[in-house]
Amino acid sequence: MNSDEVSSCEYQKFKDDFDKYVSGNLRTSKEAEYMQTHEDEEAILTEKLENLRELIASSKHMVVYTGAGVSTECGLPDYRGKDGVWTKRAKGEKYDKFDVNNVSTGFTHKWIAEGVKEGRVKHVISTNVDNLHVKSGLVRKENLSELHGNLFIGECRGCGKEFKLPNPLQLDDTTRLEHTITPPIPCSVCSEPLCDNVVSFHSTFEDVPSMEAIHDAAWVQCIKADLLLVLGSSLSVPSACDLIDTTHEKGGKVVIVNRQRTPKDRFAVMNVFADCADVVRQLPW
Please say if 148 is a catalytic residue: yes
| Torsion sign over Cα 118, 123, 127, 128 | positive
Query: Minimal CA–CA distance to 93: which of 77, 76, 69?
Result: 77
- Which residues are 163's β-sheet partners? 154
Half-sphere exposure of 230 (CA within 13 A, CB side): 37
The alpha helices in the chain, defined as continuous H runs, are: 3-25, 42-58, 85-90, 107-117, 132-135, 173-178, 210-224, 243-249, 276-280
* Eight-class DSSP state of 267: G
Catalytic residue among 109, 133, 148, 248: 148
Coil, strand or helix: which one is 152?
Answer: coil
Cis, peptide link before residue 166, omega less than 30° from 0: no
**What gap in Å lies between CA 11 and CA 14, rounded to an integer?**
5
Residue 65's nearest CA partner among 196, 215, 198 is: 215
- The phi, psi pair for 123, rounded to 5°, reads -165, 155
- Cβ neighbour number for residue 203 with a 10 Å cutoff: 17
Residues annotated as catalytic (active site), given as ranges: 148
